[in-house]
Amino acid sequence: MTKPVIYTEKNDCQDCYKCIKQCPVKSIKIEENSASVINDFCVYCGKCIKSCPVKAKKYREDFRKVQWFIDSGEKVVACIAPSFIADFPQWNPEKFFTILHALGFTWASEIAIGAEMVAEESLKWLNLQPDGVYISSCCPSVVNLIGIYHPELLKNLVPVYSPMVAHAKRIKQTFGSDVKTVFIGPCIAKKEESDQYKEYLDAAITFQELDQWINEEKIDIPGLPVVTDDFVVGKANRGNLFPVEGGMISTMDRKAPLTDLQRMTFSGIENIKEILSEMEISQPVGKLFLELLLCEGGCIKGPGSANPGGLASKRRFLIQSVQQNSASDYSIKPLPNVAVDISKDYTVFRPVIRCIHPEKDIQDVLNSMGKWTEKEELNCSGCGYDNCREFAKALLDGKAERTMCISYMRKIAQNKASVLLQKIPSGVVMVDENLKIIDCNRQFAELLGKETVMIFDSNPGMTGADLRKLVSFHKLFSSLLLSGEEKTENDIREGDNYYHVSVVNIQNYKIACGIIQNLRNPEIQKEVFAQRINEVVRQNMEAVQRIAYLLGENASFTEATLNSITDSLGQSASIESNTK
């Protein structure tokens, strides 16, 4: 069974919900304290991988498979995405292809050739269409987004393969179906697309994988000779602009400009979602072609890119390289002009079935989390969803868990703490570094008298009250907070009252908790006396053990000393006897 393109290392997942927040289609499911991708609904944009702070989200690495092809003696063609120019700016194209040759590839070819094929075929198809809006088929993530979430717009997609598939099909038809074709580029979605078209693509790896492979091989890159054995198969021109916004439109204009065709280009998932929503309700006039790229700025910012450089610098470098189009020192083997059918259909998609949940069900879920009014719907996005209602729908869909709601869990924690606080027979008070009360129980107020109880009744927990104005032993709290010690215990006499005060550091230098027991209370007396008797017994037992240890050690020392003296006297007597 093929490993999923995107998967989760469950032991590493930290329940931060960042992947849900970043996922544009919310194709993430929380189950058993781990966030996993719902592959049938994923568009493979890679945002969950890039956003994961602990790298629990990963994509499937396939370069070991490619190494196995090469080691097995297969003929392997490296199909290079045009953004390689911007992703590896430290090497010129000649050096880059030389490195691929050193890795063991049989040939290398630029997918930009396939891009030019797609541009030409798209123009032919568009020329035959009536007025309407039509969408490019180059970006597999955009195609996935439409096929899964907007299936009614599949008819608007240009029915032409992506440049990767078109190029791979041409390679197979030229060199035979037994050659292995390997896509190399910045796109994770190409892995899923290659799984769909296994008859044309044998593997898809990212530039990150390629970079790792090169580093592992420890190739002497400066010492590599320029490839001169027709290693590079075919060379593209304007197709190299496809990785940037407007690149496809620019290539189409060079092929055969259409005066009656309006052209627009957009990138970024949120922009594209808005455009697709508009298309569902708008009726455009004329013929409009949309070049849509899911990654902001185009493929040069793909999630599998090895170069973290800025969008402007990468775009500028790529455009300059294409414009210069300098003469190459390496030999280029022409790619024969074979007839290749690159038309496709879109029957492979299984559109997501969106459940329309009754308002009552949504409200019941919100109520179960203590959200009875709109004011209580905080819409904080802590769960990863945009608002509380979307989170409630995700719960009904089985994609989320109630414990993901921060405010709900905070309320539960507060309620538990309040119950425990009120049930403790001793007085309990928590204060901050300024000795302002954070919370306390009624027992604490009762220890201090009727006036304090009245304050507690009007302000349960007495939040904000100054401890220094309530008790005389407040210095126990301040000294513990200043010292950062773990705890301190003292018996305090205050008028007719006799208290045992335990102060514990909850957060160093910030929060301390005091437990005050009235030693006049018979029940408390029994408990305290029992504790102190146990402490005395424990200390006495430790003393007895130390004494026994010392006595044993002393007896052993005495025995050893006496034995040594006896042995010495015996040796002396023997010497005297022998002398006589």
Tell me the CATH class for 1-60. Answer: alpha beta
Residue extents of the structural domains in the chain: 1-60, 61-333, 353-423, 427-520, 523-564
- In terms of Cβ atoms closer than 10 Å to its own Cβ (0-12, 13-18, 19+), residue 233 is buried
Cβ(56)–Cβ(14) below 8 Å: yes
DSSP per-residue string spanning 294-338: SSTTBGGG-TT-S----HHHHHHHHHHHHHH-PPPSS-EE-----
**427-520, CATH topology level:** Beta-Lactamase (3.30.450)
More confident residue, 502 or 228: 502
194 vs 200: CA distance, rounded Å: 8
Output the six-digit token pair for 208.
């990150």
DSSP state of 240: G
Same fold, 353-423 and 427-520: no
Give the distance, in angstroms, between the CA of residue 27 and the centroid of all CA atoms in the same chain: 14
The 3-class secondary structure across 334-383, one letter per residue, is CCCCCCCCCECCCCCCCCCCCCCCCHHHHHHHHHHCCCCCHHHCCCCCCC
Q: How confident is the model at residue 66 (pLDDT cuts 50, 70, 90)?
A: very high
- Once rounded to an integer, what is the mean pLDDT over residues 255-262? 69
Q: How confident is the model at residue 327 (pLDDT cuts 50, 70, 90)?
A: very low
pLDDT in tens, 340-396: 888 888 776 677 777 888 888 888 888 888 888 888 888 888 888 988 888 889 888
Which CB contacts under 8 angstroms, 24+ apart, belong to 461-467? 461/437, 462/437, 463/437, 463/438, 463/439, 464/436, 464/437, 465/436, 465/437, 466/435, 466/436, 466/437, 467/429, 467/431, 467/435, 467/436, 467/437
> What's residue 188's pLDDT?
95
Q: Which two tokens stand for residue 288?
A: 């409009």
pLDDT, position 216 = 92
d(CA 551, CA 383): 65
Q: State mean pLDDT over 197-223.
A: 92
pTM listed for this prediction? 0.75
Kind plus residue range of the DSSP H or E element containing 77: strand 76-80
Q: Which of 360, 371, 362 is nearest to 408 (CA)?
A: 371
Q: What percent of the chain has pLDDT over 90?
A: 39
State the average pLDDT over residues 466-471.
Answer: 92
The distance of Cα 382 from the centroid of its chain, to the nearest Å, equals: 15
Q: Give pLDDT, residue 183.
A: 95
**Mean pLDDT in residue range 528-556:** 64
Give the pLDDT confidence score for residue 11 in this predicted structure: 87
Tokens 């930009």, located at residue:
112
CA 327 from centroid of its chain's CA atoms: 44
Q: Which fold has domain 353-423?
A: 3-methyladenine DNA Glycosylase II; Chain A, domain 3 (1.10.15)
In the predicted structure, residue 196 carries a pLDDT above the cut 80: yes
DSSP of 553-571: HHHHHHHHHHHHHHHHHHH
pLDDT of residue 226: 77
